[in-house]
Structure 1
Amino acid sequence: MAPEVVLQLAFLILTLSIFFVMIKLPKQALTKLRAKNRANLQSSRHFVQGSHLLVRARSIPNRQQSLIHAKNALIEAEKALSLSPKDPAPHILKALALDLMDRKNSALRSLDLALSIPCVKSLSEKERGDALVKRAELKMAVNRKRRIDSAMEDLVESVRLLSDGGSGTESKGLCLLGQCYEWKGMREMAREAFEKALRLEPESIAAREGLDRLAS
C-alpha cells in the first residue's frame, strides 16, 4: 500500500474517532447528570421528610412518641445520605436525631463528618457556625474534661462566623464558651462571654445564671 494511502487512511480513522468521541461524550455526561439530578431530588425529599419528623419529635412532650419520630427522622437522614453522601445537611439531620435519642457519641461522629472536607464546603458561614456550636455542646456533654479545649476551639470559631448575626445560636455559643472559660478558671473571659450573650439575647437564662455564679 502506498504511503499516501496509508496516511489518508490513518487520517480518516482519526477523524472518525474524534467525531465518535464528540458525539459519545455529551450523551454520557447528560446521562450522568440526569442520574445525579434524580439522586439529588430523592435525597432532598428524604431530607425534608426527616426534617419534618425531627420538628415533630422536638414538639411532642410524650417521650415515647418523640423517640418514634426521632427514629423515623434518622431513617430518612440515612436514606438521604445513601444518595448524597457528600451533602452535609443529612449528616447534621442525623446528628440531631441521634442527640434526641441520647446517642451523643454517634451524633458527634455525624457532626464530625458534616464538618469535614468535602462536606463542609457546601455549608454557609451561618450553617457552619450553628453546626460548630452543636458539636461543642456534644463534646461538653460526652466528656467535658477531655474535650473542653476542642470544644472551645469550635466555639471561638462559631462566634467568629456568627458575629453580627444576632442569632440565638450565637448567644448560645457564647454561653457555652463562657462555661468553658469558667471551668478553666478564666473568670474575666467567662464574664465577657456571658455579658455579650446577654446583650444579644436579654432573656437568656444561661447567661444570667453564668453571671450570677461569677458574682458569688
Structure 2
Amino acid sequence: MATDGAFQVAIIALTVAVFVAIQYLSKLFLSRQRANNRTALQSNRHFIQGSQFLARARSAAAKNSSQSQSLAKQALAEAESAAALSPKDPAPLVLKSVALDLLGHKAAALKAIDSALSPPRGKALQGKERGDALVKRAELKVAVNRRRRVDSAIEDLTEAVQLGAGGEKGYCLLGQCYEWKGSKEDAKWAYSEALKFEPNSKLALDALGGLSS
C-alpha cells in the first residue's frame, strides 16, 4: 500500500510539473509572439514612412534637387530601420535600393537589390513584385557596368516580363540590352512589345526607326 501511495504521489508530482511546464512554455510563446508582432508593426511603420518619403523625393526631383535629396536620405534611413527590424523581409531592401539610386549611389543600390533578391530572402518576392525588383536590378546592372553585366541584365528582364512586370520601361530596357549585344531582331521585338503598353513611347519609336533604317 505504501508503495502504491508513493507511486500516486509521483504521478501527481509529474502531472503538476508537466502542467507548470506547459503553462510556462505557453506564456513564453505568447510573449515572443507579442514581441514579434510589435517588431513587425514597427518595421511596417518604418517601411510605409520610407515609401512616403521616397514618393515625395521623386516628385520633388525635377523641381528642387536639394529637397529631393533630403527626402531620399530620410527614405533611406527609414528603409534601413525597417530592414534591421525585419532582416528576412526583402521589401525594405528594395526600398533602400531605390533610395540609394535616387541619391546617386548606384553600386550600393545594386548591392541592396541583390540582397533583396538573393535566397532565401528573395523567395518572399512573388509575381509582379519580384518582376519589378528584377527590372530595377537590371537597370542598375547596366548603369554600373553595362559591358560586363548586359547578359545578366537580359536574364533579369526576360524573367520580369514573363512575370508580367516592367511594362514599357522593362521592354525598352530589354531592347537596349539586345541592341548593345547586336541582336537587332530581338531588339525590334522588345521595342514593339513596349509600344503595346505605350503606343507613343518616344524611346521605342525612335529605336525602331533607327533599327529599320
Normalised TM-score (structure 1) = 0.90
Kindly state the Cα deviation for residue 88 of structure 1 after the two structures are TM-superposed: 1.4
Match of 1:153 among 152, 155, 158: 155
The residue type equivalent to 2:93 in the other structure is: H
CA gap 1:117/1:5 in 2 versus in 1, 3 angstroms: farther
Q: In the TM superposition, what whole-angstrom CA distance separates every residue of 1:131-164 from its partner, at most 9, and x where no partner exists?
A: 000000000000001111111110010011116x
SS at 1:65 equivalent: helix
Kindly state the Cα deviation for residue 125 of structure 1 after the two structures are TM-superposed: 0.6
Q: In the TM superposition, what whole-angstrom CA distance separates every residue of 1:104-148 from its partner, at most 9, and x where no partner exists?
A: 011011111111223223323111000000000000000001111
Does structure 1 residue 42 correspond to structure 2 residue 39?
no
Kindly state the Cα deviation for residue 7 of structure 1 after the two structures are TM-superposed: 4.7
Kindly state the Cα deviation for residue 43 of structure 1 after the two structures are TM-superposed: 1.1
Give the match for residue 173 of structure 2.
176
Q: RMSD in angstroms over aligned alpha carbons? A: 1.7
Match of 2:208 among 189, 211, 215: 211
Give the match for residue 95 of structure 1.
97
Match of 1:114 among 88, 113, 116: 116
Q: Runs (4+) of structure 1 moved beyond 6 Å?
A: none
Matched-pair contact (CA < 8 Å) for 1:158–1:170: no
SS at 1:139 equivalent: helix
Match of 2:88 among 86, 89, 93: 86
Give the match for residue 199 of structure 1.
196
The residue type equivalent to 1:137 in the other structure is: E
CA gap 1:214/1:29 in 2 versus in 1, 3 angstroms: same
SS at 2:163 equivalent: helix
Kindly state the Cα deviation for residue 179 of structure 1 after the two structures are TM-superposed: 1.1
Kindly state the Cα deviation for residue 10 of structure 1 after the two structures are TM-superposed: 4.5
Kindly state the Cα deviation for residue 6 of structure 1 after the two structures are TM-superposed: 6.1
Does structure 1 residue 189 correspond to structure 2 residue 186?
yes
Give the match for residue 16 of structure 2.
16
SS at 2:88 equivalent: coil
Match of 2:66 among 59, 64, 67: 64
SS at 1:162 equivalent: coil
| Structure 2 unaligned blocks of 5 or more | none
The residue type equivalent to 2:88 in the other structure is: K
Kindly state the Cα deviation for residue 28 of structure 1 after the two structures are TM-superposed: 1.0
Give the match for residue 28 of structure 2.
28
Q: 2: CA distance between counterparts of 1:174 and 1:109?
A: 23
Kindly state the Cα deviation for residue 55 of structure 1 after the two structures are TM-superposed: 1.0
The residue type equivalent to 1:193 in the other structure is: A
CA gap 1:213/1:13 in 2 versus in 1, 3 angstroms: farther
| Structure 1 unaligned blocks of 5 or more | 164-168
Kindly state the Cα deviation for residue 40 of structure 1 after the two structures are TM-superposed: 1.0
The residue type equivalent to 1:199 in the other structure is: K
Give the match for residue 166 of structure 1.
none
The residue type equivalent to 2:182 in the other structure is: G
Kindly state the Cα deviation for residue 5 of structure 1 after the two structures are TM-superposed: 6.0
The residue type equivalent to 2:53 in the other structure is: L
The residue type equivalent to 1:38 in the other structure is: R
